[in-house]
Amino acid sequence: MTTTLRINRIQRCCFHDGPGIRTTVFMQGCALRCWWCHNPEAQVAGGGAERAPDDLAQELLRDRRFWDRSGGGVTLSGGDPLLQAAGAAQLLARLGAAGVHRCVETAGMVPVAAVEALLDVVDLWLFDYKHADPADLRAATGADRGHIEANLTRVLESGADLRIRVPVIAGFNDTPAAWEAHAQRVGRFQAPVELLPGHDWGRGKGGVDPRRCSVDDTVIAGFAACLRRYGIAIWENESCRP
């Protein structure tokens, strides 16, 4: 049986989805329903365009001159690409054979088999950790903290390069109490943390919660300071700072 991928869109010249200039492939399907979602159109598994992994790889490789000059590559985002693990693994293997740096963004709410399928074909994992409190996490996103942490631990045990990403959302995890809980929980994983300020770009999209999710620089600075007190390195502007 031929494996295909459901693709929402391809975005070129991206600078915040891994090192260098990236070509980011937004894939369809997500297990979560975050009220602040910036890409709600990618949540439904059945949408998007259907592509064969090899054909998609050939299209993406046309951007290689930008990657080679900047140390960039391809990032799979979404949605959550691990919900299409078989096709994603084929695509990433094809890109790896061509010497392309491969990055995957995931919220971790996926079968462990999906994580296992991609361990050998990903160069950098960008792993979301949205909230340390399991009840608050489930209420806002539908996610299970234990399941996410198990998958995160599996990636780290493999020795993979991994960065924990925390979307900082107004009214969700923007308080000192939430920062403290994050620091205590995330510190166990001994991985650098990247704080992603919430923005309101998705508010005009159909079905998106009207609440504001953007935060100002003082919130990010306070969160970063709290993490550093626990000895957690902060990833900023593609560099890691203790």
Q: Residue 155's closest CA among 194, 205, 121, 193?
A: 121
Tokens of 159: 């020795």
Residue 208 scores a pLDDT above 60: no
Residue 239 scores a pLDDT above 70: no
Model's pTM, two decimal places? 0.93
Q: Residue with structure tokens 């925390």?
A: 166
Kindly compute the dihedral angle of the four CA atoms of residues 241, 37, 7, 166, in this order, to the nearest 10 degrees.
20
- pLDDT tens digit sequence for 45-58: 888 899 999 999 99
- pLDDT tens digit sequence for 28-81: 999 999 988 888 888 988 888 999 999 999 999 999 999 999 999 999 998 999
Residue 1 scores a pLDDT above 60: no
In sequence order, what are the beta bridge partners of 127?
106, 164
Q: By the 8 A CB rule, do 163 and 171 touch? A: no
Angstrom distance (rounded) from CA 108 to CA 81: 10
Confidence class for position 213, pLDDT limits 50, 70, 90: confident
- 5-241 CATH, one of 3.30.70.1280, 3.10.440.10, 1.10.3720.10, 3.20.20.70: 3.20.20.70
Residue 144 scores a pLDDT above 70: yes
Task: Please provide the average confidence, as pLDDT, over all residues in the chain.
Answer: 93
Q: By the 8 A CB rule, do 37 and 130 touch? A: no
C-alpha distances out from residue 68 to 53, 143, 155, Å: 22, 37, 27
What pLDDT does residue 176 have? 97
What pLDDT does residue 199 have? 77
What pLDDT does residue 28 have? 96
What pLDDT does residue 240 have? 61
What pLDDT does residue 136 have? 96
Torsion sign across C-alpha atoms 173, 179, 183, 184: negative
Overall average pLDDT of the 199-219 stretch? 74
What pLDDT does residue 2 have? 63
What pLDDT does residue 44 have? 87
3-state secondary structure of 235: strand
> Using alpha carbons only, how large is the chain's radius of gyration in Å?
17
What pLDDT does residue 112 have? 96
Residue 241 scores a pLDDT above 80: no
What pLDDT does residue 242 have? 65
Overall average pLDDT of the 190-210 stretch? 76
Q: Where are the alpha helices (DSSP H) in the chain?
A: 53-60, 64-70, 85-97, 112-118, 134-141, 145-157, 176-186, 217-229
Q: At what angle do helices 176-186 and 217-229 cross, to 10 degrees?
A: 40
3-state secondary structure of 165: strand
